[in-house]
Amino acid sequence: MSWTYTSLKTAIQDYAESTETSFTNHLDDFIKSTEERILKAVQLDDFIKNVTGTATSGSPYLGSPTDFLSPFSLAVIDSESNYNYLKLKHPSFIRDFTPAPSTTGEPKYYAEFDENTFILAPTPNTTYTFELHYFYRPSSLTSAGDSGTTWLSENAPNAMLYGSLSEAMIYLKSYESAPIYEQRFQEALALMKNLGEGKSTRDQYRYDQVHQKRENKKT
């Protein structure tokens, strides 16, 4: 089972037994809210990207991509193409570590300063190239067109449905139904987490096996 934009909206209305204009005007909000909850609760390898960028000497700030959701890793690439991974910290740690932005050096720590920016510590003492691996926010089903689908609508149909229904029931003030759909949503999320963790473990195992074979050939 999978959802198109139109079929999911129809299902929400059918379950809620409402086609009232004020309700249907909020269908996109229910879907978007559900997508956001899924993406923040379940970090899947399918939603990892990597980009490179530069930090300017004397500035502790590094911009994040427009579709950034959460960090996976951030590394400084030195002149010999070595990757030196920074440790993710809370912004308060960064301020305590470098109370004066004029304290410079090769960055060792980073934090999410705001939705669009990382803050580095110490402040870069020269221009550095960084590589960021991050979980990204994919396009919403609401922008896919009537017959369009997304990864979530095809691979997480239960989570999409029950999450949207939980949001819809709260909007309708149907407080008896809302917990039922919320529980089903949480069950769907748990299944996604288990599948995601299993896939990551298998992928890591395959990587380790290939890497070991390459090392054996060298020796």
Q: pTM for this one?
A: 0.76
Domain ranges of the chain: 5-44+144-213, 45-136
44-103 residue pLDDT tens: 888 999 999 999 999 999 999 999 999 999 999 988 889 999 999 999 999 888 877 788
Burial 23-50 (b: 16+ CB within 10 A, else e): beeebeebbbbbbebbbeebbbeebeee
Pairing relationship of beta strands 109-114 and 117-121 according to DSSP bridges: antiparallel
140-150 residue pLDDT tens: 999 999 999 99
Residue the block writes with tokens 């999450």: 163
174-200 residue pLDDT tens: 999 999 999 999 999 999 988 765 444
Q: How many CB atoms lie within 10 A of CB 129?
A: 14
